[in-house]
């Protein structure tokens, strides 16, 4: 809800002296603050469907601390506020220790009730977790050996490959070799993971990402059409539409449109300009951790209409103009039917996401313009 909307309770509280806040709303704000300080912005979503009380929040943080391999601080004869503060600090510190050691956190999202729980991905994903067909593609195209050990080792090869890819002529049906490779990447990944669709989003132009951009390149003036999402179906998913190519195109275009909206929605936070004046009320925190979703076709209108039942999302960031841009890109896998994704599927997606991020990072030096993956392109390519 927009901060300027009449029904926005938080905005109303901001304009009211704290001493005049209703007890229930004051408790909600305080407990939300403890949750947020214990981890990431996504912490609040882990409380979906629960009744926030000081005891419940303390129990939640204690559980997280033990899940991180630690023990909660001694409660002693402390006040509730002091107790929650110490729990939040311990929880956040242990989580940061894991991040520094390379631990990947992910969320399991139950679509029927929107319950979201954080988990640790163990062991860490490596290049061997990338499905062999995709490793074979990258060996042919970028010279990355299929027996490479870590995703980080691919960076030098992608730097050299980015030069060649930027200079290469555009294959038939594409505006650039980069866009053609993205489509081959997603198509290969969809097949290799038994997914119906693989997709990845990002910006069409780098100009709005530069600090101080203004005028037509003002990032807060962008529309959803200023972003792209490459969507590639598996052969089986395509065949499920039979001769009805129009519905296939409509479905792929709908997936793409929603992902373009997501990039637009996250952009103020991605660029660190949420407090800019004049700003934009309609934004959300850029995602930072992967997630696996089960039965998401039970509540979200678009997911119901276009049969998004099982999904994996891996947010991706790059470094640009001296700053980190979290969640600027992502990688997604989707199944409309069949079996839910497993932890091994997630591990493969995380590894593939790391590879895709390395490609985007290498290409960022060349500031590629992406012109494909709009409705007309989907109609021409898949219709």
Local structure of 104: helix, strand or coil: strand
DSSP letters, 313-324, are EEEEEEEETTEE
Instruction: Collect all residues with Cβ–Cβ distance below 8 Å to 180 and sequence separation of at least 6.
Output: 170, 171, 173, 174
Q: 364: cis peptide before it, omega within 30°?
A: no
Per-residue pLDDT, 113: 74
Structure tokens belonging to residue 340: 């839910």
- Number of neighbouring beta carbons within 10 Å of residue 369: 14
d(CA 289, CA 109): 12
How confident is the prediction along the chain (383 residues), in pLDDT tens digits per residue? 455 556 678 888 888 999 999 999 999 999 999 999 999 888 888 988 788 999 999 999 999 999 999 999 987 778 999 999 999 999 999 999 999 999 999 999 987 777 889 999 988 899 999 999 999 999 999 999 999 999 999 999 999 999 999 999 999 999 999 999 999 999 999 999 999 999 999 999 999 999 999 999 999 999 999 999 999 999 999 999 999 999 999 999 999 999 999 999 999 999 999 999 888 888 999 999 999 998 776 565 555 555 678 999 999 999 999 999 999 999 999 999 999 999 999 999 999 999 999 999 999 999 999 999 999 999 999 99
d(CA 268, CA 265): 8
Cα of first residue to Cα of last residue in the chain, in angstroms, is 37
Q: Angle CA(97)–CA(151)–CA(362) in degrees, nearest 5?
A: 105
Of the candidates 196, 210, 156, 162, the one whose C-alpha atom is nearest the C-alpha of residue 182 is 162
* Angle at which helices 54-67 and 23-37 cross, to 10°: 10
Structure tokens belonging to residue 68: 């991180």
Taking CA atoms, 346 is separated from 107, 128, 218, 253, 331, in Å, by: 11, 13, 36, 25, 11
Structure tokens belonging to residue 226: 């200023």
CB 378 within 8 A of CB 256: yes
Per-residue pLDDT, 271: 98
CB 166 within 8 A of CB 178: yes
Instruction: Collect all residues with Cβ–Cβ distance below 8 Å to 185 and sequence separation of at least 6.
Output: 134, 137, 198, 200, 356, 359
- 115 has which bridge partners? 110
Q: Angle CA(228)–CA(232)–CA(234) in degrees, nearest 5?
A: 165
Structure tokens belonging to residue 55: 């005891």
């Amino acid at each position: 809800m927009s901060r300027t909307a009449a029904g926005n309770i938080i905005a109303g509280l901001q304009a009211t002296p704290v001493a005049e806040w209703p007890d229930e709303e004051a408790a909600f704000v305080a407990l939300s603050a403890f949750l947020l300080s214990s981890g990431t912005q996504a912490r609040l979503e882990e409380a979906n469907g629960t009744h926030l009380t000081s005891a419940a929040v303390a129990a939640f943080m204690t559980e997280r601390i033990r899940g991180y391999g630690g023990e909660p601080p001694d409660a002693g004869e402390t006040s509730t506020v002091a107790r929650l503060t110490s729990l939040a600090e311990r929880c956040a510190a242990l989580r940061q220790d894991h991040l520094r050691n390379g631990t990947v956190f992910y969320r399991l999202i139950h679509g029927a009730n929107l319950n979201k729980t954080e988990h640790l991905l163990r062991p860490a994903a490596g290049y061997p977790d990338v499905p062999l067909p995709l490793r074979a593609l990258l060996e042919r195209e970028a010279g990355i050996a299929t027996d490479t050990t870590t995703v980080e080792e691919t960076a030098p090869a992608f730097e050299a490959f980015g030069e060649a890819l930027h200079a290469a002529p555009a294959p038939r049906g594409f505006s650039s070799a980069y866009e053609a490779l993205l489509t081959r990447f997603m198509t290969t990944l969809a097949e290799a993971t038994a997914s119906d669709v693989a997709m990845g989003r990002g910006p069409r132009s780098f100009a709005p990402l530069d600090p101080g951009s203004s005028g037509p390149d003002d990032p807060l003036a962008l529309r959803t059409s200023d972003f792209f999402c490459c969507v590639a179906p598996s052969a089986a998913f395509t065949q499920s539409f039979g001769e009805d190519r129009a519905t296939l195109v409509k479905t792929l275009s709908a997936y793409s449109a929603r992902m373009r909206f997501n990039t637009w929605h996250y952009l103020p936070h991605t660029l660190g300009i949420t407090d800019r004046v004049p700003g934009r009320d309609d934004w959300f925190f850029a995602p930072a951790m992967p997630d696996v979703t089960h039965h998401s076709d039970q509540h979200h209108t678009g997911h119901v209409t276009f049969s998004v039942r099982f999904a994996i999302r891996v947010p991706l960031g790059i470094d640009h103009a001296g700053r980190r841009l979290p969640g600027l890109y992502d990688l997604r896998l989707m199944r409309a039917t069949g079996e839910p994704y497993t932890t091994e599927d997630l591990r493969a997606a995380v590894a593939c996401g790391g590879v895709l991020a390395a490609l985007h990072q290498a290409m960022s030096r060349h500031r590629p313009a992406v012109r494909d993956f709009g409705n007309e392109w989907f109609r021409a390519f898949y219709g």
